[in-house]
Amino acid sequence: MQLAIKIALTTLIAMFIFIMGAGAGYAVRDYVVDDQPTVEELQSLSLYWEVWHRVEQQFYGQVPNAPASTYGAIRGALATLNDPYTLFIEPEPAKEEKAQLEGRFGGIGAFIQRDEAGRVILDPMPDQPAEKAGVRKGDILVAVDGQSLATEMSTEDVVKLVKGEIGTKVVLTVQREGVENTLDITIERAPIETPSAQWRILEQAPQIGYIQLTSFTERSNKELDRAFEELTAQGVESYILDMRGNGGGLLETAVDVASQFLRDGVILREDRKNEGERVYDVRPGGKALDQPLVLLVNGGTASASEIVAGALQDYKRATLIGEKTFGKGSVQLIYELSDASRLHVTVAKWFTPNNNAIDGTGLKPDIEVLITEEDRANNRDPQLERAISFLTNGESATK
């Protein structure tokens, strides 16, 4: 049962970062076993159980339970492929990955962070469940559903406790300034949308619209539509699209985003095993077809971001400023497995419209601008400054 969702995988830096990001080229499928195992496969499984039964009988120590040992066997088998993007994701992180790519999750609508003293501080979003239930900015979270928060617990772990299925309830125990006793606040979790795009007029150059795209979710293209509408109404004449640190997301969204800036042509070419080339064409209806455009890129620009950047660079529609991109150009198929875990399998490579390979090489910016430690210390962004100068001085996009 194919769900017909194409997505793009992110840079594999660490498993948690990986599952929260995305990257280059997926189809999501329900997992159904259609084929009977071969004799060789049955013999291999027999050997596996021969080994594991010996371990269960003789191992001096704690033997992991069935799911853990099964997951370990799967990961070990996949490791023999020597492909970092063909991997197995267990049910809980698989759920996080799915929510990230959908751009929404079940939550309470509040920012959670630790202060210098290590306390967990809440900041409710306007008109979201947390605020409606009575949570106030500055409330200190001390327990979730009666579970006290240990000082060594990470912010990510606290967030996991608060998030949950839409429609379920969570009880937050908070300490409020001026109130002697703690307060228990019951909140019903609701769909919380996570924006992937932010935009504004640049104060130092009001004719330039700045759009930061942090990922490619199901909602990204609609967010861009709103950005163009609002920025155009404010008299914007050119754009800076910031994709630095954008590890990817949905492939279909990447095609939509690139199509916002192109009238026609090919967005990318995909070479799949036993199928030959598949071409993704520009889709009609772009909102920014003529305005001068700069893309900001760096080593964290990967996968779906490189699809957009590669297409716009090949057509000389945009000037890339910054640093060389990551170089993730393989395509994965995602299977939804029977226990809600996920399997990612590399099935193809993708190429830019001019047939340039990205995998392992990345994209070179048209104008290289590095950020030094001194720049960071001084809170300076020379890449953005160069982009503003480039657009303000009316330089050619083919430079």
Q: 192-229: per-residue pLDDT in tens?
A: 877 899 999 999 999 999 999 999 988 899 999 999 99
Residue 235's CB is within 10 A of a number of other CB atoms, namely 10
pLDDT surpasses 60 at 351: yes
Residue 253 near residue 221 (C-beta atoms within 8 A): yes
| Active-site residue, 338 included | no
Say what the pLDDT of residue 103 is.
Answer: 65
pLDDT surpasses 70 at 67: yes
**Domain ranges, ordered by start, for the chain:** 15-102, 104-193, 197-328+348-392
Average pLDDT over residues 254-258: 97
* Separation between Cα atoms, residue 267 and residue 351, nearest integer Å: 9
User: What is the share, in percent, of the chain residues with pLDDT greater than 90?
Assistant: 57
Say what the pLDDT of residue 338 is.
Answer: 87
Say what the pLDDT of residue 395 is.
Answer: 66
**Highest mean pLDDT: which range of 36-40, 118-122, 226-230:** 226-230
Helix (H, G, I), strand (E, B) or coil at 289: coil
Catalytic residue, candidates 314, 330, 359, 366: 314
pLDDT surpasses 70 at 236: yes
Report the amino acid identity of residue 241: L
Indicate the average pLDDT of the chain: 86
Say what the pLDDT of residue 97 is.
Answer: 79
Say what the pLDDT of residue 394 is.
Answer: 72
Partners of 113 in the β-ladder: 121
Q: How confident is the model at residue 296 (pLDDT cuts 50, 70, 90)?
A: very high
| Active-site residue, 215 included | no
Say what the pLDDT of residue 197 is.
Answer: 93
Say what the pLDDT of residue 274 is.
Answer: 80
Helix ranges, 166-320 (H): 220-233, 251-259, 304-314
pTM equals 0.74
Class of domain 197-328+348-392: alpha beta
pLDDT surpasses 80 at 387: yes
CATH number of 104-193: 2.30.42.10
Average pLDDT over residues 59-66: 86
Helix (H, G, I), strand (E, B) or coil at 320: strand
Beta strands 169-175 and 140-144, pairing class: antiparallel
Q: Which are the contacts of 385, defined by CB distance < 8 A and separation ≥ 6? A: none
Say what the pLDDT of residue 278 is.
Answer: 92
pLDDT surpasses 60 at 369: yes
Beta strands 183-188 and 190-193, pairing class: unpaired
Range with the lowest mean pLDDT among 10-19, 21-30, 305-314?
Answer: 10-19
User: What is the share, in percent, of the chain residues with pLDDT greater than 70?
Assistant: 88
| Active-site residue, 314 included | yes
pLDDT surpasses 70 at 271: yes
Beta strands 183-188 and 169-175, pairing class: antiparallel
Say what the pLDDT of residue 30 is.
Answer: 38
